[in-house]
Amino acid sequence: MLDKVAASWKATVLTLHPDMFPGSLGLSLAGRALEKGTWELEKVDIRDFADDKHRTVDAIPFGGGAGLVMRPDVVDAALNSVADNGSPVIYLSPRGRLLDQDLVKKLAAGPGVTLLCGRYEGIDQRVLEAREVIEVSVGDYILSGGEPAALILMDAVIRLLPGVMGNRESADEESFELGLLEYPLYTRPAEWQGRKVPEVLTSGHHEKIKQWRQEQAEEITRERRPDLWAEYLVKRNDTKLGR
């Protein structure tokens, strides 16, 4: 499902707090792209699908424990209201697969995504299984709800959509695109508080600059992200062997 390609991209967000969207995505490049229709946003208030006068969406967990759990019948009704255009349904959860650049690229190439934002202790497992929901985590930490995580995922995807970013080359050189963290960046003035820009960057020698940036990216990745460095070495070795 994640590999399906389409000509347009739409984010459908199921949430108890629809006013949190588009949030920061209504500004800058993403905001202009939203105004131009490069991407669409649909907000669905899960509470609208509660069937009692108090609009109750949660209940105490079976088996005991702290907190409340979002009810499967209410969440399922909210999902039923969303048109099926082949988009994956993603539940933002700390136990999900880690959001990485490869997944971001796959989502950007598809028709869009339906994002399910949990609150309280989470969502009843049965509706996640019945709907074959994909669980995705934005990192090993706990947030107050799925909304901030949804905004992170959307931001990462939207910037890759055609026409959103002005400089494609810039995107290609960013962290994770080539399996490495990005090299250090410098701009004017050439000297600041006694610190000078590396001489190679002012040499005008493009090949030496390219080599310096590659070396810096490798060194930073090796020191700060040994996990990425190990993966990079495997891929580089496979490339040399023609695999």
Domain boundary residue among 112, 132, 158? 158
Under 8 Å between Cβ of 89 and 139? no
Query: Is 143 labeled as ligand-binding?
Result: yes
73 is annotated as contributing to ligand binding: no
> What is the CATH number for 234?
1.10.1270.20
Tell me which of 135, 158, 181 is where a domain ends. 158
- Calculate mean pLDDT across residues 182-199: 96
- Structural domain of 194: 173-240
Please indicate if the annotation marks 99 as binding a ligand. no
The β-bridge partners of 91 are: 116, 135
Average pLDDT, the chain: 93
Q: Is the pLDDT of residue 4 over 60?
A: no
**238 pLDDT tier (thresholds 50, 70, 90):** confident
pTM: 0.89
Contact 91, 130 (CB under 8 A): no
Question: What pLDDT digit, counting tens, does each position of 75-127 carry?
Answer: 999 999 998 889 999 999 999 999 999 999 999 999 999 999 999 999 999 99
When pLDDT is cut at 50, 70 and 90, the band that residue 241 belongs to is confident
Between 85 and 147, the higher pLDDT residue: 147
118 known ligand binder: yes
**Is 180 known as a binding-site position?**
no
What's the pLDDT at 98? 97
Total domains in the fold of the chain: 2
Q: Is 58 annotated as a binding residue?
A: no
Look at residue 167 and tell me if it is in a domain. Answer: no
Percent residues over pLDDT 70 in the chain: 93
**Tens digits of per-residue pLDDT, 59-84?**
999 999 999 999 999 999 999 999 88
H helix intervals, 46-205: 72-80, 101-108, 125-130, 146-158, 168-172
Whether residues 49 and 122 fall in one domain: yes
User: Does residue 71 belong to any structural domain of this protein?
Assistant: yes
The answer to whether the annotation marks 139 as part of a ligand binding site is: yes
